[in-house]
Amino acid sequence: MKKNILRFYIFILVLFTFSQLGNSLAFAKSTAASISLATAATQAQAFIFPTRGYITQGYHVGHLGIDIANKQRPAVWAANNGTVIKIQQGCQEGNAYCGGSYGNYVVISHNNGFQTFYAHLQAVSVKVGDIVKQGQNIGTMGRTGSVRGSGAFLHLEISKNGQKMNPYLLLQLK
């Protein structure tokens, strides 16, 4: 009896959660694909948490990355070894449209089709073509581009072959 009640509540919770997500089928497929890709990825490469701070917004429909905040504007580190393939710099706080609303950013290409995207940086300390090591300083957390709230933060996205993945599934959280 208790198992049936528990199953019922879990079923209701799942239905409610997916009803709140809007396009639930696409999100469910994306999440399932992320989990299978992440399982393979964790065997091949481990991504480190790229800065000091706390997560203020997670991965969900409409926000395919995570936001990490810290009012002290700490350094941002490469989550893994790779090559810098794109940067945006020169954006100032208050210009919401600079960098396509992401402000100053860095994109790093890693092995096996992975890419990491670090946005809203105050400063960028690498250039296109740089080979970076895991943990190397690539910039400083900031508030450039389109931002809400009052503090500095980093928007982090991880993709595999162009498909955005849930960073929670790939980052080593300590």
What is the CATH classification number for the domain harbouring 105? 2.70.70.10
Cα radius of gyration (the chain): 18
- 162 belongs to a structural domain: yes
- 54 belongs to a structural domain: yes
Q: Which domain holds residue 143?
A: 39-172
pTM assigned to the model: 0.76
- 127 belongs to a structural domain: yes
Task: Using a pLDDT cut of 70, give the percent of the chain over it.
Answer: 73
Residues 153, 147 contacting (CB under 8 angstroms): yes
- 19 belongs to a structural domain: no
Q: Write phi, then psi, for 60 (nearest 5 degrees).
A: -165, 175
109-155 pLDDT per residue, tens:
998 899 999 999 999 999 999 999 999 999 999 999 998 877 899 99
| Regions of the chain short of the pLDDT cut 50 | 1-29, 32, 34, 36, 38-44
- The pair of structure tokens assigned to 128 is 């296109």
- 11 belongs to a structural domain: no
